[in-house]
Amino acid sequence: MTDPADSPAIALPDDDWQGVATAAAGDEALYLELDGWEGPLDLLLDLARRQKVDLRRISILDLVDQYLNYIDQAEALRLELAADYLVMAAWLAYLKSALLLPREEQEDPSPEELALRLQLRLQRLAAMRDAAGRLMGRDRLGRDVFGRGNPEGLRIDRKALWQCDWFALIQAYGQIKARTQPVVHLVRDRMVMTLDSALTRVAAMLGVTLDWMELKDFLPPHADPKLRKSALASSFVAALELARLGKAEMTQDETFGPLRLRGVRA
Amino acid sequence: MSDRPDDLLRAVEAAVFASEQPLSIEAISLHLGGADVRAALAELAEHYADRGVHLVERGKRWHFETAPDLAHLLRREREEVRRLSRAGTEVLAIVAYHEPVSRAEIESIRGVQTAKGTLDVLMEAGWVRIVGRRDVPGRPVIYATTPDFLTHFGLESRRDLPGIDELRAAGLLDPVEDALAAAMDGPSAETELTDAEEDTDSAD
Amino acid sequence: MSDRPDDLLRAVEAAVFASEQPLSIEAISLHLGGADVRAALAELAEHYADRGVHLVERGKRWHFETAPDLAHLLRREREEVRRLSRAGTEVLAIVAYHEPVSRAEIESIRGVQTAKGTLDVLMEAGWVRIVGRRDVPGRPVIYATTPDFLTHFGLESRRDLPGIDELRAAGLLDPVEDALAAAMDGPSAETELTDAEEDTDSAD
């Protein structure tokens, strides 16, 4: 791999954490804090830093040994270890044995790749930890530098600019008028044939003939179309009434077919 | 521009700037290890005298404030376009067609109680003003439209407001049914129209 | 001591001085009737560079603050700045150097789950905000820093983050997978590195 430029960001001072509190409470369910370590990767990074070599040149085998020793010690002290630490220990033990096995028996992914992956992760975590330390060490507003203590403030006075247009105005007036006008309901005088006159007319016509007649033949001829509707309705009701009284018979061959009726002689 | 101010001057400047209250000479001095800050304050006050910010002493306490001649910059008016509400439009229309008109009269024409705020908004907008009191018991305030109203709505005079028959011709009387509209062609509509027109004329 | 600063300069000085928040160039200009204030800001920044109070730009917004070298005099009992947990500082750094970044990405760098409260504290402080969702399955929320973050830490822009150029050049801001791919296959590794460097250049 190409040699990355030497950078202060990945140089690893022993302690750049002064002034930073230890991990917040409330995370206990997720990991056990061993002397303030936040998880196995954090512990590994700390062990790596103790080797005092550049993380890019660190011996992963040494690191694995140190981690496994640490876990052994913790178990010897009967410290309860979070599952994360044990999972990492198991994985590192596997990695160690794979690194020590002859090359031909390697599976995919190769142990070298796994070791490199771990190394890269440690580098990234170290870089961010270092960056965090440098960020926190900056001159901070409200701690090292201060804004104006008592600013007058800039004020923005909001003024409403009311909008309404001519059409909305006259439309509103029209609607008030339409709404508040006294409402008068008028029913137009229409020509109707009353039930009584229909009854008289149909009964009289039934007395004249014994043949079946269609209902429409009972309507007054040349009637105004508006009167015709009324006459049809009244004549139909009159026919029903006469049938009920036994004075007429009605027949209809099909639905909506012509309705015929004739008189019944007593 | 000038040579770098000395450290005491800079410290006094920063201390007064950062303080949440005006500071007495003693308080400033206390911050700065007991140094004598009088000369520094005098020099700073002189430096800032021409600037947008002044260092001033008020009741033996020092603070920075913006230059009095720039105070108007610290407030800014922002105009927000707001649409007149339906109720506002109706009340405005009634004032325009019937002015001068009292609030009770507006309510009787609208058939709805008129919230006090509605007339306030119309007065804030500059379209309606109080023109006096009606000479009846209770002496209610009466309202009329303003010249700004005519300007805003593009009217030469209130005579330009369409009459009832024109509104109807434009379909703005918005009847519910044709039959109903036809039925309303009765005598009462005619009367209203005449009233409205008379009002308009007399107001001019 | 010096010739009187012109009116625009004084007005810009007063407006930024009076404001309770850092102001963008647009906001200052709006207060001053739309004037172009860039030159005035540059001149003021230069004038104040030697003084006890500095005019600084942070995330495209301007404000006055006390000179950093006077911190020892002003620090007093004003230790109100919240102390961030170690997890908090790490998460903040990861967001700042990698933004925009999802919670899963933060966790993969730190190797531990991030307690719910950690991001909340950073958002409550006003330093981190949600800027959208990543267009991948699950559409995770992504986080980035705010202008207030830059203001608080005295950064003109994210480019001023300590060591960010070196970190980028060393590939330490790239995902592990990319670095792994680069390291595993030789020739393409060269290409990847070149790409990364080009990215860096174009980003600046």
From first to last of its 204 residues, chain B has per-residue pLDDT tens of 446 788 899 999 999 999 888 999 999 998 888 889 999 999 999 999 999 999 999 888 999 998 988 877 777 766 777 888 889 999 999 999 888 999 988 998 888 887 788 899 999 888 999 999 988 888 999 999 998 888 888 888 888 888 877 777 777 765 444 434 444 444 443 333 333 333 333 333
In a domain? residue C80: no
Residues of C with CB under 8 A from a CB of B: 1-2, 4-5, 9-15, 17-18, 30-32, 47, 50-53, 64, 66-67, 70, 73-74, 76
In a domain? residue B179: yes
For residues B34 and B112, state if they share a domain.
Answer: no
Residue A27 scores a pLDDT above 60: no
pLDDT (tens digit per residue) in A88-110: 999 999 988 888 887 666 567 78
In a domain? residue B2: no
Closest chain C CA to residue B30: C73
pLDDT score, position C77: 53
pLDDT score, position B163: 80
For residues C103 and C165, state if they share a domain.
Answer: yes
For residues C90 and C152, state if they share a domain.
Answer: yes
For residues C198 and C109, state if they share a domain.
Answer: yes
The minimal CB distance from C74 to the residues B5, B18, B46 is found for B18
The stretch A142-170 carries a mean pLDDT of 81
The stretch C19-39 carries a mean pLDDT of 91
Residue A193 scores a pLDDT above 70: yes
In a domain? residue B80: no
Residue C63 scores a pLDDT above 60: yes
Domain boundary among C15, C47, C74: C74
Domain boundary among B20, B43, B74: B74
d(CA B128, CA C124) in angstroms, rounded, equals 48
For residues B110 and B198, state if they share a domain.
Answer: yes
Domain boundary among B74, B100, B115: B74
For residues B193 and B114, state if they share a domain.
Answer: yes
The subunits that touch chain A, with at least 3 C-beta pairs less than 8 Å apart, are: B, C
In a domain? residue C79: no
For residues B155 and B190, state if they share a domain.
Answer: yes
Chain B neighbors of A182, CB-CB under 8 A = 188
Give the residue from C177, C171, C176, C165 showing the smallest Cα distance to C194.
C171
Chain B neighbors of C70, CB-CB under 8 A = 10-11, 14
d(CA A21, CA A36) in angstroms, rounded, equals 10
In a domain? residue C92: yes
Residue A3 scores a pLDDT above 50: no
Residue A77 scores a pLDDT above 80: no
Burial status of residue C84 (CB atoms within 10 A of its CB: 0-12, 13-18, 19 or more)? buried
ipTM over 0.85: no
Number of domains within chain B: 2
For residues C16 and C91, state if they share a domain.
Answer: no
Instruction: Report the run of H or E that residue A210 belongs to, with start and end.
Output: none
The minimal CB distance from C85 to the residues A8, A23, A117 is found for A23
For residues C100 and C197, state if they share a domain.
Answer: yes
For residues C192 and C139, state if they share a domain.
Answer: yes
Residue A166 scores a pLDDT above 90: no
CATH number of the domain bearing residue C68: 1.10.10.10
Closest chain C CA to residue B13: C52
pLDDT score, position B109: 87
What is the maximum alpha-carbon separation in chain B? 96
pLDDT score, position A24: 40
Closest chain B CA to residue A168: B89
pLDDT score, position B3: 60
| Backbone CA torsion sign across B65, B71, B73, B75 | positive
For residues B94 and B68, state if they share a domain.
Answer: no
Q: Percent of chain C, pLDDT > 70?
A: 85
C57: domain range? 7-74
A30 CA to centre of own chain: 30
The minimal CB distance from A117 to the residues C23, C152, C176 is found for C176
pLDDT score, position C172: 93
pLDDT (tens digit per residue) in C173-191: 998 888 888 877 654 444 4
Chain B neighbors of C67, CB-CB under 8 A = 10, 14
The stretch A122-149 carries a mean pLDDT of 90
In a domain? residue C128: yes
pLDDT (tens digit per residue) in C92-146: 999 999 999 999 999 999 998 887 788 988 998 899 999 999 999 989 999 999 9
pLDDT score, position A107: 66
In a domain? residue C130: yes
Please indicate whether, in this complex, the C-beta atoms of A143 and C78 are within 8 angstroms of each other. yes
The subunits that touch chain B, with at least 3 C-beta pairs less than 8 Å apart, are: A, C
d(CA C115, CA A27) in angstroms, rounded, equals 6
For residues B124 and B188, state if they share a domain.
Answer: yes
